Structure 1
């Protein structure tokens, strides 16, 4: 199916929703579940989770918006579609947050764009493992953490006694007048050995608006998504196949993370007309994101030492940008007049988990091997160089976004030993990363005399990890993890260049690995029957610290150590001395039959050794460290009516610890931000009796229409009040 054009692939998936209708027998009597609403996620060591109930309650339009409700996780960028990325524990670069969708690694590092294009309506669960403490994934990234996203399957939607069903859902958001609709059909054989789900979602909106009613021009949302997922079981084997497709299109600034668009001059409006004058400031963008995941699991019940997973994944993100024909300028630094970008991640992995005992010790031995191939193809045409042979007559790869390939071969072994109340886990992983450059078509950026060298580079090394959990009592546990790992320089960092004769023109093939030593430790408390016989209280506290060495940055400011000679062909990137981030998280949840509550708090700080512009200068704060954030939820449930409702609060401190407080700190930085408090309301209803097939949801964001600027939004004002409604019916 990947051979089809993006539009045909998406239409094919949507048509499969109808084709899946007769997959099984007629539905039995539908039994609807009780309303499931909790004050927060049940804390686990070093992790936070977003459940299907949380997704329904939030009614978010993007994955970063969902994750922004977790402690230590923040949305970076604007609210514009395609302009959002993730920040975890002060790590905000795309390569620092590893996103895994149905086992498939997802990567999109295009300059000043969002990094996650996944429709929330297709998701059943998200788990965030904070810090670089997982051995299951390759080391090229993930210093901030790993985000594992699982899509829905038929079992999530089938009710007890059902073998077939269909779900229709519609939604409306008041701020941008967004309308959305989704349709799902699903079924399973009577013995549950085979199931299938086909789902499609459409979103359409106008521009987002600030609290004063002012619109963010070109922030419209036009997105289609589809999911086809099936699984079948044969003996001790289970096969799962999922295909996810997302497509968006619309007018957008090249820098999707930015706020306002520059206003056309009176002369431009007089010459081109108002609509065309505005469009000359932006471009038409098509984004297509697809993910294929095929998994075989073999787990014989009588052989606990054999729990085998074999998986193949293929994920692609394509983006095509085109400026209006009336634009004669070249824009070579922002994609030219037309550009094409494709990121592709293919991965094959074999993992086995063996459980056995020796005397008083219980073992879980996990071993695995992985192959990951990351490719990036880029091309642009810029009219500015249409007659320049030195710039290949305008057809070339953007010098700041080179094409290339990065291949990773890795293997790991992890052993967990449990004796009584104590579990010790040790792990070691080895990776070899080979990075291949693609010579630029333009001689201006492919000149050996200027230091342009596109030959391959290779990095390899070990990553040891150690963890412990001690269950002091049935209600209290302590845990700690320490990890040392690394990442190889990216394709950008290795092969981005400038033209010969500039201050730092050369490729950066001599870069060292970026390394990190990370600690996290904490405690977990869980207790039942605290205020009533049926309630449950959970609490988690985590301390963390990350020490990064040889961090990779562009060469700005002080080019070489004062007093030393400057080489004639200086590389565009360099390794810096490093930085550290540290902080604390608190997360608590309480749930009972009739009420629920939750509260979380995250605080962190960070310091560079020197600055990004001058590594030999005064220490400066880390730019990507988010301000302190507290999230609170309080609500009530009326199970007999299928109703729950509550309040959500977000309290964010000011951020004035920015690099700008230090001379020669950074070439770019976020402005200081003020603190703010936001309030919201929500309600969910699941019909009973004759209305049992119907459900509805209400959520109000920014209830008091507070005007505020999130720190990681780079000075862009957030949207005003937004009333969100949803209605669903089962057929």
Structure 2
């Protein structure tokens, strides 16, 4: 059975073997792309995408999802190194340190949308040890399949399956792992086991535990206190019945923190403005759940049917209570439980319409969801409300000769209404979105291709943006904003890709992809930070984002080199610089397979400075300086004797202990040097 459609993939640093349909030359640096139809290689798809697969995840040895994504061009972390302070920015869209800004990026885990917004909290809580693949599609080209409003792009995460743990020819298998990191202070352990007693049934159970402490700057001063015990559970089972299958999975993260910083994005921030004593510390529960049940049907004798129906439930909860530090209280308006419960039903079918001389796969589908945003305390920073949505979509993949055409259309209708606790307004808001897109690639020869794409996206306002009346956080509360218009984005991309071998010497290989983009946004939603009667949010007429990404990789012998460049600039209709822009940067990597047992590597991030405009969060208009940060690692995998199957992973992040503040951080700084060590054993 073919796999469901995911975000497209372009990988730097993999060793996956891939071959184009019309070219039998092996190119190990150009990975297989997961598509609705037959597998393709990344250089043959007309979108700007990246993927981090299992081998690179192992080399990074991440302590949180931010460690994974900081290597991806166009993606910037927002907040801190805290496990609970993860927010993201893609091409200038996404989290900027305030609630609701997460809406510009679609975050998925095993295809299910993860969305959480609460004042000064992170937006994504994921156990990285359960991940086997993370794909990032930059720009709005994934909106057809994954939902309206993906102006920044899509982060799609996949968790391990039983087949990833079971050795070939065996009926079961697993791994155990222990780890330590110095900054943030972390102790870690996990066990995962896969079972396949028969060809028609397989199951997986995995448990991970993290004890989290504090993050420190280069001088050893505490940045963020994440003090918590964090157990995580993953369960999966799949049963096949001829042409049908049923699959169920459940993920559960539950973290309990004592005297944990309320503001996990920036820490206490004492003195942020005159008289401010900090955000306080509390006893905080973070709970994240993903449950899904899927039925699939793919009859071998009917290529027009490859159908799936998925029912899912996700919920993210933050329960904040006062801590034991009397001189660091949390504001009463920020206490209590806040959560998002999301029920979703999705159905889709992939039809193989291929004929002589061409391949054509058409996906049609529909989905509906209901999101319940609730709070146990009355707080203008977290207004309660319901969001209901229904959508239909179609996605086409056509390949004919040297030409590939991908096109899609999505229609979505959304209804948002406040709960009775929102007393400033009872306005219900109904919106609709029509989102067409098309991408074309032309293969000039066996090595070179050119491509271009055009996508139109509408981002519908969120509950927070419509009904928030917090204002500037210093006593002035803005009015609700039920008259907000939808954000309307038009994204244009052009690019060129290359893949080849025997370039400088026999047996060497190279892969490269360059993408240039221009995103024009009408009615961009921004916070006013003004007291009532001014609305908390308003639309600005226009904003423009322009830039590009270059990804390149070269392998020769036992050496592999990678480079990723990302540049983005943006202004509003008055020519003012947008305050959500990340650093322009280059990511360099090198790895040496010194022997069958040893692999040694390094990664460097070289970032340009960024001019920062005056805003409510950057009242001085302080610019952010450029920086260079370097990581090193070594992996030992014994191949003989009693230690066979064991792996020792050693690394140092920020090896020079460089002090720096990324442009997307509200304050800073980023963490100082981090020593990390892990030991794992497969069985």
Instruction: Provide TM-score, normalisation by structure 1.
Output: 0.81
2:565 to 587, 601, 604: 601
> 2:618, 2:666 within 8 Å by CA — same for their partners in 1?
no
2:113 to 105, 114, 117: 105
2:586 to 606, 626, 630: 630
> 1:504, 1:555 within 8 Å by CA — same for their partners in 2?
no
* Aligned pairs (5 A) from 1:279-358: 281-324=280-323, 335-336=333-334, 338-357=335-354
Partner of 1:71: 73
Once the two structures are TM-superposed, the CA of residue 425 in structure 1 deviates from its matched residue by 2.5
Partner of 1:425: 406
1:495 to 453, 456, 467: 467
Tell me, yes or no, if structure 1 residue 184 matches structure 2 residue 136. no
> 2:590, 2:603 within 8 Å by CA — same for their partners in 1?
yes
> 1:671, 1:714 within 8 Å by CA — same for their partners in 2?
no
Tell me, yes or no, if structure 1 residue 194 matches structure 2 residue 201. yes
Aligned residues: 630
* Deviation readout 1:266-301 (Å, 9 max, x if unpaired): xxxxxxxxxxxx999311111000101222222223
1:150 to 147, 151, 158: 158
Once the two structures are TM-superposed, the CA of residue 580 in structure 1 deviates from its matched residue by 1.1
* Aligned pairs (5 A) from 1:319-468: 319-324=318-323, 335-336=333-334, 338-357=335-354, 360-380=357-377, 397-440=378-421, 446=423, 452-468=424-440
> 2:148, 2:457 within 8 Å by CA — same for their partners in 1?
no
> 1:80, 1:220 within 8 Å by CA — same for their partners in 2?
no
Tell me, yes or no, if structure 1 residue 231 matches structure 2 residue 238. yes
Once the two structures are TM-superposed, the CA of residue 603 in structure 1 deviates from its matched residue by 0.8
Once the two structures are TM-superposed, the CA of residue 221 in structure 1 deviates from its matched residue by 5.0
- 1:102 to 1:536, Cα distance in 2 relative to 1, 3 A: same
> 1:153, 1:230 within 8 Å by CA — same for their partners in 2?
no
Measure, in 1, the Cα distance between the counterparts of 2:117 and 2:649.
35
218-227 or 104-113: bigger deviation: 218-227
Partner of 2:24: none
Once the two structures are TM-superposed, the CA of residue 481 in structure 1 deviates from its matched residue by 1.1
Measure, in 2, the Cα distance between the counterparts of 1:372 and 1:584.
34
Measure, in 2, the Cα distance between the counterparts of 1:680 and 1:283.
33
Once the two structures are TM-superposed, the CA of residue 698 in structure 1 deviates from its matched residue by 1.2
Measure, in 2, the Cα distance between the counterparts of 1:534 and 1:331.
61
Partner of 2:223: 216
Partner of 1:524: 497
Secondary structure of the 2:286 match is strand
- 1:437 to 1:703, Cα distance in 2 relative to 1, 3 A: same
* Aligned pairs (5 A) from 1:522-561: 522-556=495-529
Once the two structures are TM-superposed, the CA of residue 540 in structure 1 deviates from its matched residue by 0.5
599-608 or 278-287: bigger deviation: 278-287
- 1:201 to 1:139, Cα distance in 2 relative to 1, 3 A: closer
Once the two structures are TM-superposed, the CA of residue 570 in structure 1 deviates from its matched residue by 5.0
Once the two structures are TM-superposed, the CA of residue 484 in structure 1 deviates from its matched residue by 0.8
* Aligned pairs (5 A) from 1:255-266: 255-260=263-268, 262=270
- 1:356 to 1:256, Cα distance in 2 relative to 1, 3 A: same
1:204 to 195, 208, 211: 211
* Aligned pairs (5 A) from 1:562-577: 570-577=534-541
Partner of 1:122: 130
* Deviation readout 1:503-551 (Å, 9 max, x if unpaired): 8754322222111111122111111233454442110000011111111
Partner of 1:714: 666
Partner of 1:578: 542
Tell me, yes or no, if structure 1 residue 650 matches structure 2 residue 650. no
Measure, in 2, the Cα distance between the counterparts of 1:183 and 1:532.
44
Measure, in 1, the Cα distance between the counterparts of 2:356 and 2:15.
42
Once the two structures are TM-superposed, the CA of residue 577 in structure 1 deviates from its matched residue by 0.7
Secondary structure of the 1:483 match is strand
Measure, in 2, the Cα distance between the counterparts of 1:57 and 1:537.
21
Once the two structures are TM-superposed, the CA of residue 359 in structure 1 deviates from its matched residue by 5.8
Measure, in 2, the Cα distance between the counterparts of 1:187 and 1:318.
32
Measure, in 1, the Cα distance between the counterparts of 2:476 and 2:118.
24
* Deviation readout 1:661-683 (Å, 9 max, x if unpaired): xxxx6565774211111222111
As a proportion of its length, which structure holds more strand? Answer: 2
> 2:436, 2:457 within 8 Å by CA — same for their partners in 1?
yes
* Deviation readout 1:397-443 (Å, 9 max, x if unpaired): 21221111111100012223322111223322111000011022xxx
Once the two structures are TM-superposed, the CA of residue 592 in structure 1 deviates from its matched residue by 4.3
> 1:414, 1:426 within 8 Å by CA — same for their partners in 2?
yes
2:51 to 49, 52, 56: 49
Once the two structures are TM-superposed, the CA of residue 455 in structure 1 deviates from its matched residue by 3.3
Measure, in 1, the Cα distance between the counterparts of 2:61 and 2:325.
39
> 2:268, 2:279 within 8 Å by CA — same for their partners in 1?
no
* Deviation readout 1:383-408 (Å, 9 max, x if unpaired): xxxxxxxxxxxxxx212211111111
Tell me, yes or no, if structure 1 residue 659 matches structure 2 residue 659. no
> 2:268, 2:280 within 8 Å by CA — same for their partners in 1?
no
Tell me, yes or no, if structure 1 residue 84 matches structure 2 residue 83. no
Measure, in 2, the Cα distance between the counterparts of 1:498 and 1:686.
54
Measure, in 1, the Cα distance between the counterparts of 2:264 and 2:440.
43
* Deviation readout 1:60-119 (Å, 9 max, x if unpaired): 111122111111011111122311201101112210111111111110011121111000
> 1:170, 1:727 within 8 Å by CA — same for their partners in 2?
yes
> 1:71, 1:601 within 8 Å by CA — same for their partners in 2?
yes
Secondary structure of the 2:214 match is coil
Once the two structures are TM-superposed, the CA of residue 587 in structure 1 deviates from its matched residue by 0.4
310-319 or 455-464: bigger deviation: 455-464
- 1:571 to 1:649, Cα distance in 2 relative to 1, 3 A: closer
- 1:638 to 1:282, Cα distance in 2 relative to 1, 3 A: same
> 1:590, 1:597 within 8 Å by CA — same for their partners in 2?
yes
As a proportion of its length, which structure holds more helix? Answer: 1
* Deviation readout 1:624-665 (Å, 9 max, x if unpaired): 1111111111121145x3321122111111112x222xxxx6
Secondary structure of the 1:189 match is strand
Measure, in 1, the Cα distance between the counterparts of 2:319 and 2:426.
25
Measure, in 2, the Cα distance between the counterparts of 1:85 and 1:361.
42
Measure, in 1, the Cα distance between the counterparts of 2:359 and 2:590.
41
> 1:254, 1:335 within 8 Å by CA — same for their partners in 2?
no
Give unpaired runs (5+ residues) of structure 2: 1-13, 18-27, 32-41, 95-100, 272-276
- 1:257 to 1:636, Cα distance in 2 relative to 1, 3 A: same
Measure, in 1, the Cα distance between the counterparts of 2:555 and 2:161.
27
Secondary structure of the 1:57 match is helix
Secondary structure of the 2:484 match is coil
Once the two structures are TM-superposed, the CA of residue 352 in structure 1 deviates from its matched residue by 1.0
Measure, in 1, the Cα distance between the counterparts of 2:222 and 2:232.
26
Once the two structures are TM-superposed, the CA of residue 714 in structure 1 deviates from its matched residue by 2.2
Partner of 1:672: 623
Measure, in 2, the Cα distance between the counterparts of 1:642 and 1:36.
16
Measure, in 2, the Cα distance between the counterparts of 1:41 and 1:695.
27
* Deviation readout 1:27-52 (Å, 9 max, x if unpaired): xxxxxxxx969998855531100101
